[in-house]
Amino acid sequence: MRRRHLSVTLVALSALALAACGQASNSASSSSAATSAGATSASASASTDACSKDNLKTLAAGKLTVGTDKPAYPPYFVDDKPSNGQGFESAVAYAVADKLGFAQGDVTWTVVPFDKAFAPGAKDFDFDINQISITDDRKKAVDFSDGYYSVNQAVVALNGSKGAAAKTIADLQALKLGAQVGTTSLDYVTNVVKPAEKPFVFNSTNDAKSALNNKQIDAIVVDLPTAYYITAAEIENSAIVGQFKLDKNSGENFGLVLAKGSALTECVNKAVTALRDSGELQQIQDKWLSEVTKAPYFS
C-alpha cells in the first residue's frame, strides 16, 4: 500500500510540475508576444511619422544643410562662425535641428548670399536663416516657416550729425539714407520714409556702415538688434536715432527660408511652434538679444 501511495503521489507531483511548466511557457510566450507587438507598434508609429528624422527628405541623407550669408553678423552669429552655436540665429538653427532629430554634428552650414536665399530656383540648403523677413512678395518664390522673431527697423547715425537730430519721418525725408539691397530696411526707406533724395543702396551691411562712418551718407536703416550691435561695438560715436512704429497688422517677422513646395516646410513649422510653446525660443532670445531695449519711435 505504501508503495502504491508513493507511486500515486509521484504521478500527481509530475502532473503538477508539467502544468506549472506549461503555465510558465504560456506566460513567457504571452510576454514575448506583447513585447514584440509593442516594438512593432512603435516601429509602425515611427514609420508613419512624416517628421521623424528617417522620413525627412534632406539634401544629404542623415544630414541637415543650413544656409546663411557671409560675413555672419552679431548678435545673430559670433566670430563669423555659424557652426559654433553662438549667437541668436545659430542657436535657433540648432534648436530647430534638434527638434527634427539632428544632432549638432549632423548639421552642415553653407554660404548663401542674402538675396539669393529667397530668389526663385533650386536651393542648395534645407533651410536658410539670415534675418530674412517674411513678405508676400518673397513667398511667391520660396516657402517660409512661421516667424521666429518679431523685429522693428531702426535708424543709425553719427552723434552730432544731421542724421542724429531726426525725430520724425519728415526729418528723415531730408537725409541721405542708406540700406542693403534686397532688404526690408531698404523697403522702409523707399516706401515709408520716401526721402527727397534717392536712397543709397549697398551690396552689404558692411558697405553701408563704411559709408556712414566715412560721412558719405547721413544715416543707415537696419533691423533693431543689428542697430544696437553697430552702435555698441562697431562704429564709435554712433547712436540709434529711432525706430519705426508698426501696427499689429504690419508686424515684421524673420522666418526660416525653404525651397518652394519643400517637403520639410510643415515639419520645420512644427519645430518652430514646439520651441515657441515650450518657451525655449524666448530663452534663446533673452540670452542673445537681451541688450535690445526700447528706442524712441519716429512720429
User: Do both 200 and 228 map to the same domain?
Assistant: yes
**DSSP element (H, E) containing 258:** strand 257-259
Q: Is residue 206 part of a domain?
A: yes
41: which 3 cell numbers?
A: 507598434
Phi, psi of 260 (to 5 degrees): -60, 125
**Exposure letters 212-243 (e unless 16+ CB within 10 A, then b):** bbeeebbbbbbbbbbbbbbbeebbeebbbbbb
User: Do both 22 and 63 map to the same domain?
Assistant: no
Q: Is residue 21 part of a domain?
A: yes
User: Do both 124 and 193 map to the same domain?
Assistant: no
User: Do both 146 and 256 map to the same domain?
Assistant: yes
User: Do both 228 and 272 map to the same domain?
Assistant: no
Q: Is residue 87 part of a domain?
A: yes
Predicted pLDDT of residue 247? 59
User: Do both 79 and 122 map to the same domain?
Assistant: yes
- CA 88 vs CA 68, 94, 256, 289: distances in Å: 13, 10, 13, 7
The total number of structural domains that make up the chain:
3
Q: Which domain holds residue 164?
A: 153-243
* 170-200 per-position pLDDT tens digit: 999 999 999 999 999 999 999 999 999 999 9
C-alpha 183/C-alpha 148 separation (Å) is 18
Q: Is residue 229 part of a domain?
A: yes
C-alpha 167/C-alpha 268 separation (Å) is 40
User: Do both 232 and 84 map to the same domain?
Assistant: no
175: which 3 cell numbers?
A: 537725409
User: Do both 185 and 98 map to the same domain?
Assistant: no
Q: Is residue 297 part of a domain?
A: no
Predicted pLDDT of residue 16? 35
Predicted pLDDT of residue 65? 98
Tell me, what CATH number does 175's domain have? 3.40.190.10
- In order, the DSSP letters of 122-183 are --SSSEE-SS-B--TTGGGTEEEPSPSEEE-EEEEEETTSTGGG--SHHHHTTS-EEEETTS
Q: Is residue 299 part of a domain?
A: no
User: Do both 61 and 115 map to the same domain?
Assistant: yes
pLDDT (tens digit, 0 to 9) for every residue of the chain, 299 residues total? Answer: 333 343 433 333 344 343 444 444 444 444 444 444 444 444 444 457 889 999 999 999 999 999 999 999 999 999 999 999 999 999 999 999 999 999 999 999 999 999 999 999 999 999 999 999 999 999 999 999 999 998 899 999 999 999 999 999 999 999 999 999 999 999 999 999 999 999 999 999 999 999 999 999 999 999 999 999 999 899 999 999 999 987 555 578 999 999 999 999 999 999 999 999 999 999 999 999 987 767 889 98
User: Do both 142 and 274 map to the same domain?
Assistant: yes
Predicted pLDDT of residue 19? 42
Q: Is residue 294 part of a domain?
A: no
User: Do both 268 and 131 map to the same domain?
Assistant: yes
Q: Is residue 227 part of a domain?
A: yes
User: Do both 72 and 218 map to the same domain?
Assistant: no
Q: What is the pTM of this model?
A: 0.75
C-alpha 144/C-alpha 253 separation (Å) is 11
* 40-69 per-position pLDDT tens digit: 444 444 457 889 999 999 999 999 999 999
